Copies of this chain bind each other. A is one copy, B any other.
Amino acid sequence: MADIPDNLRGRLPDAAFREVAPRYLEEPRGRWHGSARAVLAPATAEETALIVTACAGAGVPIVPYAGGTGLVGGQIAALDPAPVLLSVERMTGVMKVDPDGHTMTVAAGAILEDIHAAAAGHGLIFPLTLASQGSARIGGLLATNAGGVNVIRYGNARDLCLGVEAVMADGTILHGLKGLRKDNTGYDLRHLLIGSEGTLGIITGAVLRLFPKPESEAAAFMAVADPEDALKLLRLAQARVGEGLSAFELIGRAGLDFMDETGTAYRDPFSDRPDWICLVDLGVSGGRDAADALEGLFAEAWKAGLVTDGVISQSVGQRADFWALRERIPEANRKIGSVSSHDISVPVAALPEFIARAPAEIAAVGDFRINCFGHMGDGNLHYNVFPRPGRRPADHEDARGPIKRAVHDLVDSLGGSVSAEHGIGRLKVADLERYGDPAKLAAMRAIKSALDPANILNPGAVLRS
């Protein structure tokens, strides 16, 4: 194993030198394996700058590592020369809440659940919510512009960040932790770094937006006949409760069928299983009751013939049960094992067309099952393809490419995105080249060369080295 740049010895505390544990070189889906000459965990932007400067000088690439929960291989690479893996795990010092300013300043290593707890301590919320929040760290969540279930109301990670501190490829520190609501002083480097997956700079800290916690929250499962009616229900909900709509998830019946098939525990909301379920979550204030608002929405939707059945949470616990069902769908998917999974988006109004047309495209490749669920309010579906019962993903290795191509071509023809919220990482570099706008790709390459001329920062992620 190659050594770390000599001039780092003695300039960082012992705690910054971590064992190269296997977990750093693996990723959730087990499709990628990385290499690392060392795992270095700086505690501050200054220590990060030391490492970046030393690595740049020695021509050693750096792979930034946060929670390790990424699904596209952005946090993992088998490079030659072997990279330094820069972990933000020790950057957990700062967690300063400004309740008057509705902001929180955090270091890159802060875990999302800890951020939620710190906000809750002041009666506020940080609304970024996703399945991996127990281990995902804010540095990675911002580097990948994470999405999740509350985007329809609060936006993506980038919309929840007022500023970032980052170390650039030349080792200089970008100081951007002012936390202003309005600041038109030059190019918005915050938004350039957010979503760049560690290829333009390493985010070491951020100022996050906090929001008042809605006084009343409730969720409902509403059964609809098809995605067209789900879209009509979404629009009705937006017209009636406006920003009070916190989430609008679509769940195909395969989501529940798969949980039965895999013995995944859940509370079945319907005696008579519908083909499509919408999970509608409201958070309201001003003396209103969220469950009442859902009752009213359901009644109006029923009158309009948009819903065939429904159940509304009557307690905090029941609302949690509803969400537990939604969050366990990926668990059942993993047990069955997908042939190909897709994190795609299309214009919201085009979702029904995509869902109607995609099965034929996949059937043309072979005989598979589909589990379609996701964030309908954002036009974002997790559209996953599985073997028939009794067959294994390994039986269809050769089908993965054609399936992915068929799904992505359809998405592209509908003006959609082949990576809605997971990013490009290393998994989708070729997809970006295939489907990306040439002028955008040219500009991205020019910016990468300008800010990281030696290609030290996460080489091979987003853009081909």
Interface size of A by Cβ–Cβ distance < 8 Å?
Answer: 99
- Which of A2-10, A11-19, A181-189 is the contact stretch? A181-189
Q: Please, which residue of chain B has its CB at the minimum distance from the CB of A418?
A: B185
Which residues A139-181 have CB closer than 8 A to chain B? 144-145, 147, 151-152, 155-156, 158-159, 168, 170, 172-176, 178-181
Does A118 reach chain B (CB closer than 8 Å)? no
A100 with B286: CB separation less than 8 A: no
B446 with A451: CB separation less than 8 A: yes
A242 with B212: CB separation less than 8 A: yes
Contacts of A98 in B (CB 8 A): 347, 349
A446 with B450: CB separation less than 8 A: yes
B286 with A436: CB separation less than 8 A: no
Q: How far is the CA of A231 from the CA of B98 in the complex (A)?
A: 14
The residue that A183 contacts in the complex, of B168, B241, B417, with Cβ under 8 A, is B417
B188 with A151: CB separation less than 8 A: no
Which residues A256-308 have CB closer than 8 A to chain B? 284-288, 293, 296
Contacts of A20 in B (CB 8 A): none
- Which of A50-58, A375-383, A396-404 is the contact stretch? A375-383
Q: How far is the CA of A155 from the CA of B101 in the complex (A)?
A: 16
Contacts of A463 in B (CB 8 A): 186
Contacts of A287 in B (CB 8 A): 296
Known pairs A175-B439, A212-B238; A100 contacts B349 (CB<8 A): yes
A420 with B242: CB separation less than 8 A: no
Which residues A110-135 have CB closer than 8 A to chain B? none
Q: How far is the CA of A173 from the CA of B184 in the complex (A)?
A: 25
By CB atoms of chain B within 10 A, which of A238, A424, A440, A449 has the most? Answer: A440
Q: How far is the CA of A285 from the CA of B293 in the complex (A)?
A: 11
Contacts of A180 in B (CB 8 A): 345-347, 379, 415-417, 420
By CB atoms of chain B within 10 A, which of A214, A242, A285 has the most? Answer: A242
Does A96 reach chain B (CB closer than 8 Å)? no
By CB atoms of chain B within 10 A, which of A147, A183, A443 has the most? Answer: A443
B439 with A172: CB separation less than 8 A: yes
Contacts of A418 in B (CB 8 A): 185
The residue that A191 contacts in the complex, of B151, B192, B288, with Cβ under 8 A, is B192
| A263–chain B nearest beta-carbon distance, Å | 32
| A183–chain B nearest beta-carbon distance, Å | 4
Does A391 reach chain B (CB closer than 8 Å)? no
A194 with B189: CB separation less than 8 A: no
Does A423 reach chain B (CB closer than 8 Å)? yes
Q: How far is the CA of A432 from the CA of B184 in the complex (A)?
A: 10
The residue that A181 contacts in the complex, of B151, B170, B439, B450, with Cβ under 8 A, is B151
Known pairs A178-B416, A444-B189; A242 contacts B172 (CB<8 A): no
Q: How far is the CA of A103 from the CA of B174 in the complex (A)?
A: 34
Does A21 reach chain B (CB closer than 8 Å)? no
Interface string of A339-356 (1 = CB under 8 A from B): 000000111111000000
Does A243 reach chain B (CB closer than 8 Å)? yes
Q: How far is the CA of A377 from the CA of B190 in the complex (A)?
A: 22
Q: How far is the CA of A173 from the CA of B438 in the complex (A)?
A: 9
Q: How far is the CA of A240 from the CA of B213 in the complex (A)?
A: 10
Does A421 reach chain B (CB closer than 8 Å)? yes
The residue that A380 contacts in the complex, of B155, B170, B181, with Cβ under 8 A, is B181
Interface string of A207-247 (1 = CB under 8 A from B): 00001101000000000000000010001001111111000
9 contacts between A and B (CB under 8 A): A175-B439, A181-B348, A182-B420, A186-B195, A186-B444, A187-B462, A240-B285, A240-B286, A242-B286
